[in-house]
Every structure is written in C-alpha cells, then in structure tokens.
DNA sequence: CTGAAAGCGCTTACAG
DNA sequence: CTGAAAGCGCTTACAG
C-alpha cells in the first residue's frame, strides 16, 4: 500500500479511499491509483483492515462439524458457502469426528482467527470448556442440535417427528419387531430420533428389546461389519430396522445384501442416500435437506453478525417419507390391504 | 492483551512471551500472566500476530475446488484437514462450480486473507487472470490436474492409465461399441481420461462414434436425464459405457435402471460410488483415493510453505479395477472363456 | 530476566 | 477533495 501511494504520488489515505471505492476522490487520482495498484499487483490485506475496522463486514465464518467426508455435512457446507459467497465471506471448516476435545480446539482456533461467527453442529450434548465461553461472545448458530445449557439460533430437521413417522410406517406395514440403529445418544439429534422411535413404539404398545437398539459406530465400513455380525447373532431377529442416520443406512443395506436378507427385513432410514433409488429393493427414507439447513443457518448467522438482537429462532424443517420398497416389505401383522393412511406432512418450515 | 498486561502488572512484551511460551520468564510472572489470561478470557489474535511475524507458521490455507457437495471433493478436503489440523492450521474452502471467473474470485479472496498456501483443483485448463498472478507468488499445489502454463507440485490419479484400463476391460469382455460419458474436456483430467479411452479404442482398432461421446453436464440429476434421453434416442445403441466421473456414474446407473437396461449394457466407471457394491449388478469401477490425494497435496504444500525449493513434484496415484458385475456383462465379441488376462496394477505411487 | 519503542498494513477521526 | 497523525493487536530489535 505504501508503495502504491508513493508510485501514484498520493497519500496512504487516498489509496485506501480508492481501494474501498469511497466517494469524493477526483477522477484523476482514482485513475493514477488504480494504475499503480495494477502495476504493483497490490492486494489489500483483509486481516489488517479488520484489525482496525472491527465493525467491518465479516471476512470469514467458521463451520464446526463431525465429518466433512459425510455427504450430510458436506452438503451443509455447500449451503453455507452459497450464502457466504456473495458477501465475499470465506468459510473455515473443520471436522471433530465426534470428539468433544477436538471440537473444542477447533472452535478455539476459529476464534484466534477472529471469525465473525460460527455455525456449529455439536458433537455431543455440551460444548467443551473453551467453546462454551467463546460462544457467549460470538454470534453462533447451531445446526442439527443444540447443546444443553445454550440458547442460540438453531436450525434442524424434525428429528423426533421424522423418527416417529418412519417407525409408524413400519408398524403400519405390519411390523412389531423393530430394531433401531443409530448414532450415540450423547448427540442430541440422535437422542431425539431414538425418543421418536420409542414414542411410536409405545403408542402402538410394542416392546423394544434392548439388544435391538444399537448405537455408537461411525463409518459405513464399521457399521457394515457391526450390523453383519449383529444380524447373524440375533435370534430371534427383528423383522424390520430403523436406521437413524445415512452412514448407518449404507452399512445396514450392505450387511443385509451380504446376508441375502434385503427382501426379508424391512428397512427405513433417516436422511437420504445416493443410489438409494436404484438398489433392490429401493431404500425408503425420510430425507433431510442438508443444503437448505446450511443455507438457513448461514442466513441467520449473518443476521446476527449484522447485529440482530431478536430472540433466538428455532427453525425446524420437516420432511416427507420417500417410499421406495425397503420400507414397504410387510411384517407378520400386515393386513390384506396395505394401509391406505397416507402420512404426507408437507415439506414446510415450522418456527417455534 | 493490554488489559492482561495491566492486570498482571507487567509489560506487553512479557505477556507476549508467556503466551508464546518463550523461555526466560520468571516463574512468578508466568504465573501472574496466566492467571490474568484466564480471568479475562484473553485469546490472542492470530491475524495481528501474523501481520508482523510474516515468516510465522501457517494460520490457514485455502482449498479451491469444483463442488464440495461432491464426495470426491469433500473427501479430498477431509484429507487436507487431517494434515493441517496437527499444525493448528485452518482450511478455507470454496466451490467454483466449474466456473473460471468464480474460481478466480475465490483465489483472490483467499489471498486477501493471506492464506499461507493453496491447494487448487483447477476448474479448467487455465487459471483466471488474478489467480494466475497470485499463484506465482504463493505456494500452491495442484490437485487432479494442472493448468497449462503452470508448473507446481501436482498430485493426481492416473487419469490416462485408468481410462485405458477400464476401456480395455470392456474390450476384453467382448465389447466393440463403447460410449464415453464424462466431464467437459476443458478440465484437463477429463481430457486425459478421454485420451485414455481413445487410446485404448485405437489400440483395439475400434471406431469411436461421435454421438457416443457425451460431456459437459454437472449434477447426478442432470446426468440422469441427459443419459436417459440419450439412451432412448440412440439407434444403434452402444453395448457398453465408460463413465468418467462419479456423478456421471450415478446418473448413468439411474438411467439404466429406469430403462431396465442395467443387465444389458455394460458399465464401468472412474472413481468409486457409495453403494456401488449393493446395486444390481454391482458397479465396476477403477477407484480413486481422494482422501489420500488430499493428504499428499497438503503435505507437499506444507513443505513448500516451510521453504522447500526442490523441483516440482508430480505424484500420480494408480488404482486397480474393482469388478462388481456391471463391467463384466459380456459383449457380442466375447469368447467362450472370459479373458484370463488379469490386469492388476498394484496401487502404488509413481513419481515422475 | 524485563521493558520501551517502532513497525506490520490498514483505518478512523480530524484538520485543512 | 486530500492528507498527517494515531491506533487496531500483536511482534521484532534493541536496551538495560
């Protein structure tokens, strides 16, 4: 900048004015400065700018998630990016692998880089000690679920309602012996989905066998082998399965196919899965809209960054079951005619 | 920081020393400063630090890609993250959607935030005007392919060799009428894959019909409908298809299933696809290892950031065909016994 | 072992 | 319309 000023024969302030397109600089000087900027390939340093101009527009925001290699999270990131891009705001991101300490470190690092705000998909039901403090001083929007003691903006799918829907879907198709496979319930969203499952089962006066509730594994590969062995060991077997997360669904479908059980056991998942329409039978799911989740979270975050002080918003996005076959395999209690009751919640947003 | 110094009754410099764990501060002062840091919840500002200390360790690196919602790219990002994390380096990322101007803006924004280096998956065969200049002054590692006029470190899959392998795989299974569906050839990696296809076809003295080469679409949804219509319109139809990219593979498999052709037309893809083992027939592919690609690119980048001046490295990662069924559907020229010739390149790395 | 001064690249608040 | 000074939060280079 100094060189530019010298080369154009003006003061630093004038360069600053031209670079920031402030009004009230003579055309002549604008011309000279711009020429010098080009010639010297000058690039303003956003960090230095924001050092002084603290109310400046956001240069970057941080996104803490569990695992960017999971399409659910990378689609969220895509949605966040779409909102941030027009503002020339960059997004820093990091995966915690569900580890609280790592999430804590990540958020700490975000702050040391002075992000303007954070979107956080919490890895558990509370934040680490550092994040906990930070979050009180920085705009933050929670995604998917909210840590206990906090109250910020929150955008998430209807975990409870969705889990109730898919469980009831199986019950409506004659199933009484239903297993639940999902994330560890220290993750609040996972806990809500399990609650939904329990609720639907209780409402139908069905019992849940403890050995039919499996939680706490991570990758599709891991789930595949866990479910493979679990299916072999179980006797009696459930007649149907609720898979509460996309990687679980993938692992379960692979295990069922390995065992040749895909046409015997019904399966319905939470969150959609690539090629779920092509597998035989097609995989029935209640989809999420991760891109929309990300977009809404980012929009709310930018409102906060801009200074909005309205009370915390909780936005819940409701989905609708996509029946592709695996969830419509009937159980022993199925009536002759398949239940006509269509539960078609429209894909709308509810704010409460 | 000022407050901390005052509160601990020491100078700024002493606070700086304690925060940076420099040696030669009396235990007493260290104690007092740390206490004040805790009490005031002081977080050093990495941006301000790097402003002065320009040879400092990297605070952030940038990753420019086509679309983070594509698992190929999000897995790369995961790999980069894994290398950056131990250094407390954050990664900024952004998607260009294959648009050169957007990629240019993205890289520009990275630089204005003074990233220590860049990993770039180019959206085309050249960089935009801004990026072009920037890249000459900032450590950069290209991933997947390298823009023409540049020469930096490069990590990529063996596009040409992989395409030759999968094309020959179809030829070995008796196919003569082979279609090629892939990315627009302005992307260098796509061009290399098409070259590989052409090369294998020529070596077998087979002709390529222009209408059997389709390129330039983006999402699985788009590919699905394009391929659906293309298959309906084609007469005669090819007996087999090379899909040169994961989203193309997904779209093609969906289209084939919609038309009930999945057992008639052979298909083999470049890059693996989730649930490709479960679909009927299983999807034969030559996989990539995007996480490893990302990891290696990041490792090379950090070497450059640390000042390495060795000549540019080109690292090429070779894969091995996974035969799952779709690629082994035989064509009219198949001999009685399937070809025994096993082409099993070991998954090793070659440097040239 | 500790600190006062100058500077990183920019902006703000003021003067002319 | 333009500029000289002070400051953002930190560090470097020097002195004591």
d(CA B187, CA B126): 9
Cα distance from A219 to chain B (closest Cα, Å)? 12
Q: Is the pLDDT of residue A345 over 60?
A: no
Strand C closer than 7 Å to the CB of A44? Answer: yes
d(CA B2, CA B24): 21
Instruction: Give the pLDDT band (50/70/90) at residue A55.
Output: low
d(CA A156, CA A133): 23
Strand D closer than 7 Å to the CB of B48? Answer: yes
Percent of chain A with pLDDT over 90: 66
Distance (Å) from CA B35 to C1' D12?
Answer: 26
- The dihedral built from the CA positions of residue A98, A101, A105 and A110, taken in this order, carries a sign that is positive
Strand D closer than 7 Å to the CB of B19? Answer: yes
Residue B113 confidence (pLDDT):
87
Chain A CB within 8 Å of residue B54 CB: no
Residue B301 confidence (pLDDT):
96
Chain A CB within 8 Å of residue B57 CB: no
Q: Is the pLDDT of residue A51 over 80?
A: no
The model's pLDDT over A232-276, given as tens digits with 9 standing for 90+, comes to: 999 899 999 999 999 999 999 999 999 999 999 999 999 999 999
Residue B182 confidence (pLDDT):
97
Per CB-CB distance under 8 Å, the chain A contacts of B69 are 71, 74-75, 77-78, 291
Before A281, cis peptide (omega within 30)?
Answer: yes
CA–CA distances in Å: residue A273 to residues A181, A278, B250, B307: 16, 11, 12, 43
The model's pLDDT over B142-171, given as tens digits with 9 standing for 90+, comes to: 999 988 878 899 999 999 999 999 999 999
Q: Are A171 and A177 in contact (CB under 8 A)?
A: no
Mean pLDDT of A156-162: 97
* Alpha helix positions (H), chain B: 2-8, 12-19, 27-40, 46-52, 71-84, 100-112, 129-137, 159-172, 188-203, 220-233, 246-258, 290-305
Closest nucleotide (C1' vs CA) to B12 is: C3
Closest nucleotide (C1' vs CA) to A114 is: D9
d(CA A152, CA A155): 10
Task: Strand D: list positions under 7 Å from protein Cβ.
Answer: 1-5, 7-13
Distance (Å) from CA B1 to C1' D16?
Answer: 24
> Which one-letter DSSP state was computed for residue B207?
-
The model's pLDDT over A3-23, given as tens digits with 9 standing for 90+, comes to: 888 888 888 888 888 888 888
Chain B CB within 8 Å of residue A99 CB: no
Q: What is the pLDDT along chain B (352 residues), one digit of tens a residue?
A: 788 888 888 888 888 888 888 887 888 888 888 888 888 888 888 888 877 765 567 889 999 999 999 999 999 999 999 999 999 899 999 999 999 999 999 999 998 888 999 999 999 888 888 788 777 788 999 999 988 878 899 999 999 999 999 999 999 999 999 999 999 998 889 999 999 999 999 999 999 999 999 999 999 999 999 999 999 999 899 999 999 999 999 999 999 999 999 999 999 999 999 999 999 999 999 999 999 999 999 999 999 998 888 999 999 999 999 999 999 999 888 775 554 444 444 434 443 3
Residue closest to C9, CA→C1'? A48
CA–CA distances in Å: residue B318 to residues A337, B32, B75, B299, B315: 54, 57, 17, 19, 10
Cα distance from A49 to chain B (closest Cα, Å)? 10
Per CB-CB distance under 8 Å, the chain B contacts of A278 are 253-254, 257, 275, 279
Chain centroid to CA B342: how far? 28
Q: Are A171 and A208 in contact (CB under 8 A)?
A: no
Round the average pLDDT of chain A to a whole number and report it: 90
* Alpha helix positions (H), A85-219: 100-112, 129-137, 159-172, 188-203
Angle at Cα B188 formed by Cα B130 and Cα B249, nearest 5°?
120
d(CA A48, CA A60): 14
Instruction: Give the pLDDT band (50/70/90) at residue A293.
Output: very high
The model's pLDDT over A120-150, given as tens digits with 9 standing for 90+, comes to: 999 988 888 878 877 778 899 999 998 887 8
Q: How many Cα atoms sit within 13 Å of B12 on the Cβ side?
A: 3
Are the beta carbons of B91 and A88 separated by less than 8 Å? no
More confident position, A336 or B24:
B24
Strand-pairing partners, residue A63, are A93, A119
d(CA B267, CA A148): 50
Are the beta carbons of B93 and A95 separated by less than 8 Å? no
Instruction: Give the pLDDT band (50/70/90) at residue A49.
Output: confident
Q: How far apart are the first and last CA of chain B?
A: 50
Structure tokens at B170: 């179809």
Residue B349 confidence (pLDDT):
41
Residue B160 confidence (pLDDT):
97
Q: Is the pLDDT of residue A352 over 80?
A: no
Are the beta carbons of A77 and B68 separated by less than 8 Å? yes
Strand C closer than 7 Å to the CB of A56? Answer: yes
Q: Are A146 and A120 in contact (CB under 8 A)?
A: no
Residue B336 confidence (pLDDT):
56
Chain B CB within 8 Å of residue A294 CB: no
Closest nucleotide (C1' vs CA) to B51 is: C8
Residue A248 confidence (pLDDT):
98
């Amino acid at each position: 900048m100094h060189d530019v000023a010298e080369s154009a024969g003006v003061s630093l302030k004038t360069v600053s004015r031209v670079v920031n397109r402030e009004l009230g600089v003579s055309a002549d000087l604008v011309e000279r400065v711009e020429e010098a900027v080009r010639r010297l390939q000058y690039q303003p340093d956003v960090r230095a700018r924001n050092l002084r101009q603290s109310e400046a527009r956001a240069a970057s925001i941080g996104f803490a998630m569990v695992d960017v290699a999971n399409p659910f999270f990378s689609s969220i990131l895509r949605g966040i990016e779409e909102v941030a891009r027009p503002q020339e705001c960059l997004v820093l991101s990091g995966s915690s692998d569900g580890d609280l300490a790592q999430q804590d470190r990540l958020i700490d690092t975000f702050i040391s880089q002075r992000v303007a705000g954070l979107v956080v998909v919490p890895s558990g039901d509370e934040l680490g000690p550092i994040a906990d403090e930070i979050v009180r001083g920085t705009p933050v929007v929670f995604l998917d679920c909210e840590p206990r003691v906090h109250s910020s903006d929150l955008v998430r799918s209807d975990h409870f309602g969705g889990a109730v829907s898919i469980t009831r879907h199986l019950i409506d198709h004659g199933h009484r012996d239903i297993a639940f496979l999902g994330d560890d319930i220290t993750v609040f969203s996972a806990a809500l989905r399990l609650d939904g499952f329990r609720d639907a089962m209780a409402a139908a006066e069905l019992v849940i066998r403890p050995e039919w509730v499996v939680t706490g594994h991570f990758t599709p590969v891991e789930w595949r082998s866990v479910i493979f062995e679990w299916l072999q060991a179980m006797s009696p077997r459930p007649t149907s399965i609720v898979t509460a997360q996309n990687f679980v669904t993938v692992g379960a479908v692979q295990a069922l196919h390995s065992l040749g059980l895909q046409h015997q056991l019904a399966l319905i998942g939470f969150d959609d899965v690539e090629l779920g329409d092509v597998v035989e039978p097609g995989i029935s799911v209640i989809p999420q809209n991760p891109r929309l989740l990300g977009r809404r979270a980012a929009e709310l975050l930018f409102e906060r960054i801009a200074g909005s002080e309205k009370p915390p918003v909780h936005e819940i996005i409701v989905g609708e079951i996509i029946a592709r076959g695996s969830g419509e395999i009937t159980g022993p209690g199925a009536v002759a005619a398949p239940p006509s009751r269509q539960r078609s919640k429209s894909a709308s947003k509810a704010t409460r």
